[in-house]
Amino acid sequence: MITGAGSGIGAATAARLAGDGYTVALCGRRPDRLERTRAGLPGKGHSVHPGDLTDVAQVRRAAAEITERHDGVDVLVHAAGGLVDAEPVVDGDGLGAVAADLSSSFAANVLSTALLTHALGPALRGRRGRVVAVGSIAGQRGGGLGYASAKAALHGWAYDRARALGSRGITVNVVAPGYTSGTEFFGDAMTDARHARLIGETLTKRAGEPGDIAATIAFLASADAGHLTAQVIGVNGGALPG
Ligand SMILES: NC(=O)c1ccc[n+]([C@@H]2O[C@H](COP(=O)([O-])OP(=O)(O)OC[C@H]3O[C@@H](n4cnc5c(N)ncnc54)[C@H](OP(=O)(O)O)[C@@H]3O)[C@@H](O)[C@H]2O)c1
């Protein structure tokens, strides 16, 4: 099960895991983008479950569809999320804007992850189940008040869920990408100068690619990673040593 699968890191993860032989279920808000991802996947039986993962009823429906259609969930990857344009609030002291930023960022990045994990918890396979949340370098070093706060909150969420699910042999980890090009994340906010500056921060002197993140997720999904849990793994070209 892969969220945010209509673009960027989620779509690359779907391609990677389908190539590795998994049957994948794809979730995101735009059905056409999910269908586009599905059309490019090798193998058969992949399914599309459109929905807004910040909404309890839509999460419940997507989880019910997935458990009906598939025989259990081996790997749950939360790539849905990102920067959110909160509704502009003009109130003089800025408090309304801070509240809107924090609320929308937490909904998109934390609530979505926590709700779907809870809904699919019983369907996660014991002994080999894997949960991977896509965090961000921003959660480790700042970068947007609401966004950085929400991505950092995923760390505590993962530690807690790893503790809760560990006795079933299920691992829970966060993969924290640095700058990754080839996604819709930056919208039209990326400039040549910003692109060059972000590459300059890396030790590898290149932008990350969605496939870099997908490869790390594929390792976490593998049998070899069964004793690796409650960790935050940076994939950032050394932009943030750790
Ligand atoms: N690109 C980077 O440089 C970078 C760096 C660090 C971390 N990240 C993180 O990587 C993850 C994947 O982002 P990306 O870079 O691949 O950007 P992206 O192309 O914008 O992908 C994000 C996906 O999440 C889906 N989504 C957003 N809100 C959703 C919701 N409420 N319910 C269901 N689906 C939702 C979007 O599809 P719909 O709009 O159709 O719902 C979209 O396909 C995000 O969590 C992002 O914060 C990205």
DSSP collapsed to 3 states, 56-118: HHHHHHHHHHHHHHCCCECEEEECCCCCCCCCCCCCCCCHHHHHHHHHHHHHHHHHHHHHHHH
Return the bridge partners of 233, or none: 175
In-domain check, residue 241: no
CA of 205 to the centre of ligand 1 (A): 24
The atom number, within ligand 1, closest to the CA of 78 reads 45
Spatial separation of the C-alpha atoms in residues 65 and 127, rounded to whole Å: 23
Spatial separation of the C-alpha atoms in residues 242 and 240, rounded to whole Å: 6
CA of 109 to the centre of ligand 1 (A): 9
Cα torsion angle, 121, 217, 29, 27, sign: negative
Q: What is the CATH number of the domain that holds 61?
A: 3.40.50.720
pLDDT value at 151 more than 90: yes
Q: What is the pLDDT of residue 18?
A: 98
Q: What is the pLDDT of residue 90?
A: 83
In-domain check, residue 242: no
CA of 110 to the centre of ligand 1 (A): 12
Q: What is the pLDDT of residue 91?
A: 87
Average the pLDDT over 94-121 and give the result: 97
Spatial separation of the C-alpha atoms in residues 46 and 140, rounded to whole Å: 34
Q: What is the pLDDT of residue 34?
A: 98
The atom number, within ligand 1, closest to the CA of 5 reads 43
Q: What is the pLDDT of residue 109?
A: 98
Q: How confident is the model at residue 87 (pLDDT cuts 50, 70, 90)?
A: confident
In-domain check, residue 240: no
Q: What is the pLDDT of residue 183?
A: 96
User: Is 90 or 51 the better-scoring residue by pLDDT?
Assistant: 51
Q: What is the pLDDT of residue 67?
A: 95
Q: What is the pLDDT of residue 31?
A: 98
Q: Is the pTM of this model over 0.85?
A: yes
By residue range, what is the domain housing residue 157? 2-235
Question: Do 182 and 138 touch, CB atoms closer than 8 A?
Answer: no
CA of 70 to the centre of ligand 1 (A): 24
Work out how many domains the chain is built from and give that number: 1
Spatial separation of the C-alpha atoms in residues 51 and 119, rounded to whole Å: 14
In-domain check, residue 38: yes
Helix (H), strand (E) counts: the chain: 9, 7
Atom 2 (ligand 1): residue with closest C-alpha? 180
In-domain check, residue 49: yes
In-domain check, residue 75: yes
Q: What is the pLDDT of residue 229?
A: 98
CA of 151 to the centre of ligand 1 (A): 12
What lines the ligand 1 site, CB under 6 Å? 3-4, 6-10, 28-30, 33, 52-54, 79-82, 108, 112, 134, 136-137, 177, 179-180, 183-185
Phi, psi of 135 (to 5 degrees): -90, -140
Q: How confident is the model at residue 155 (pLDDT cuts 50, 70, 90)?
A: very high
Q: What is the pLDDT of residue 86?
A: 81
In-domain check, residue 212: yes
Average the pLDDT over 221-241 and give the result: 98
